[in-house]
Amino acid sequence: MFVGDSLNRNQWESMVCLVQSVVPSARKSLSKTGSLSIFTIQDYNATVEFYWAPFLVESNSDDPNMHSILNRIIMPESIDKHGNNWKNVDYLIFNTYIWWMNTFSMKILRGSFDEGATEYDEIDRPTAYKRVLATWSQWVDKNIDPNRTQVFFMSMSPLHIKSLDWENSDGIKCAKETSPILNTSMPLNVGTDKRLFVIAANVTRSINVPVYFLNITTLSEYRKDAHTSVHTIRQGKMLMPEQQADPATYADCIHWCLPGLPDTWNEFLYSRIISRS
Ligand SMILES: *[C@@H]1O[C@H](CO)[C@@H](O)[C@H](O)[C@H]1NC(C)=O
Ligand SMILES: *[C@@H]1O[C@H](CO)[C@@H](O)[C@H](O)[C@H]1NC(C)=O
Ligand SMILES: *[C@@H]1O[C@H](CO)[C@@H](O)[C@H](O)[C@H]1NC(C)=O
Ligand SMILES: *[C@@H]1O[C@H](CO)[C@@H](O)[C@H](O)[C@H]1NC(C)=O
Ligand SMILES: *[C@@H]1O[C@H](CO)[C@@H](O)[C@H](O)[C@H]1NC(C)=O
């Protein structure tokens, strides 16, 4: 089960694509119920699942179909409502990053959504991220039997929004890029919040249940060419030709094409899974 934001969904889609082609069409199915998407492979009694929880903890962005909340508010100490859906699986793969990135501070609800609370405090992003991962790590320690479940945490998936970051003054976001950044001596800064990387790396080391931190950030930073760009889906539909002609507005330089980079992330995951036994 993959748990997290749309980048983890991107990786789940990659995993489904990687395994589905060997399964005859009558022996597999895809279903979606609320926050949970399930790919089922009947003959192996196996499922590959994705659970939408972009902040892992409870937030006002938890509706899996309503994705345009700009005023994002979280409850950093509240995780059980989601966590109850993550139990008794064989492999749990977490992430949380992109939803943190559109403001420098994070809004913390005073009280709970269930009680109709609307007031909030604002705290800086790394402090809020640390609180959320502390809640998450306590949940893992309390609820995961490491003999039953293997736990992974994906590091942040980078964006390629500013072509000057790789010194292309003619670029439009990632839209015109057809090759990776090949010059590895060029200092690479595409705006990834490395503070969150350090926090996640640290938390996944200090937790009791073994959690494997999958470091995909740097290698993905080189892949300015690998985003969906204007070949993306918006509100369930491919972009219209006039939208494709306006990459400055419409190019998606967050998500990744498939086949593509997330397949490599899954190869890391797979090699970790098979090397344990
Ligand atoms: C399929 O998996 C479920 C859940 O792990 C288990 O209860 C059931 O016995 C399995 N069925 C078969 C045919 O292996
Ligand atoms: C996991 O399995 C080992 C070996 O069978 C056992 O010693 C240990 O107590 C188990 N741990 C848990 C948390 O059940
Ligand atoms: C690679 O980047 C370094 C540092 O920015 C620069 O000095 C060098 O000329 C670049 N090499 C190529 C082949 O562009
Ligand atoms: C790393 O985690 C430990 C244990 O949770 C904590 O005490 C320490 O402050 C953390 N360090 C950083 C740099 O986050
Ligand atoms: C993550 O991987 C990159 C190379 O892809 C490496 O340079 C970096 O040190 C790694 N970071 C950690 C914390 O392992």
189 lines ligand 3 (CB under 6 A): no
Q: Residue 228's closest CA among 248, 250, 253?
A: 253
Residue with tokens 């998500």: 255
Q: Residue 256 has which token pair?
A: 């990744």
Atom 3, ligand 3: residue with shortest CA distance: 186
Cβ count near 183 (within 10 Å): 10
User: Is 186 touching ligand 3 by the criterion CB < 6 Å?
Assistant: yes
Phi, psi of 87 (to 5 degrees): -85, 155
- Residue owning the nearest CA to atom 10 of ligand 5: 215
Report, as an integer, the average pLDDT of 255-267. Answer: 98
Spacing, Cα 147 to ligand 2 middle (Å): 6
Residue 277's pLDDT is what?
60
Provide the 8-state DSSP code for 191.
-
Identify the band that residue 67 occupies on the pLDDT scale cut at 50, 70 and 90: low
Q: Specify the range with the lowest mean pLDDT, choosing from 143-147, 180-184, 195-199, 267-271.
A: 180-184
Cβ 67 vs Cβ 84: under 8 Å:
no
Determine the pLDDT at residue 118: 92
Mutate to test the pocket of ligand 2, among 140, 144, 147 (most ligand atoms within 8 A of CB): 147
Helix (H, G, I), strand (E, B) or coil at 29: strand
Which of 35-39, 70-74, 242-246 bottoms out in mean pLDDT, i.e. has the lowest? 70-74
More confident residue, 71 or 70: 71
Of 151, 176, 174, whose CA–CA distance to 161 is shortest?
174
| Ligand at shortest distance from the CA of 141 | 2
- What's the CA gap between 179 and 175, in Å, rounded? 11
Per the annotation, the verdict on 271 as an active-site residue is: no
- List pLDDT tens digits, range 96-120: 999 999 999 999 999 999 999 999 9
Question: Is-contact 128 55, C-beta < 8 A?
Answer: no
Measured CA to CA, the distance from residue 274 to residue 166 in angstroms comes to 36
Q: Residue 21 and residue 223: Cα distance in Å, rounded?
A: 26
Output the residue whose Cα is nearest ligand 4's atom 13: 199
The predicted model gives 254-259 an average pLDDT of 98
Burial 214-228 (b: 16+ CB within 10 A, else e): bbbbeebbbbbbbbb
- pLDDT at site 70: 83
Domain boundaries, the chain: 2-159+191-225+262-276
Answer whether 218 contacts ligand 5 (Cβ < 6 A): yes
155 CA: nearest ligand 5 atom = 1
Give yes or no for residue 143 CB within 6 A of ligand 2: no
| 252 catalytic per annotation | yes
Distance 13 CA to ligand 5 centre (A): 25
Asked if 74 contacts 96 with a C-beta cutoff of 8 angstroms, the reply is: no
Distances in Å between the Cα of 249 and the Cα atoms of 53, 152, 172, 174 are 27, 34, 10, 12
Task: Identify the band that residue 17 occupies on the pLDDT scale cut at 50, 70 and 90.
Answer: very high
According to the model, what pLDDT value does residue 121 have?
Answer: 97
Is the beta carbon of 202 within 6 A of some atom in ligand 4? yes
Average pLDDT, the chain: 96
CATH 3.40.1350 matches 2-159+191-225+262-276 = no
Using the mean position of ligand 5's atoms as its centre, give its distance from the Cα of residue 152 in Å: 16
Q: What is the pLDDT of residue 186?
A: 84
Ligand (nearest to CA of 47) = 1
Least Cα distance to 62 among 85, 40, 39 occurs for: 85
The per-residue pLDDT for range 152-200, each reduced to its tens digit, is 999 999 999 999 999 999 999 999 999 999 998 888 999 999 999 999 9
Residue 220 known to be catalytic: no
Considering the chain, what percentage of its residues have pLDDT values greater than 70?
99
Cis-peptide, bond into residue 259, ω within 30° of zero: yes
The mean pLDDT value for 4-32 works out to 96
Token pair listed for 66: 């309503």
Distances (CA, A) of 41 to 27, 46, 113, 265: 6, 5, 37, 22
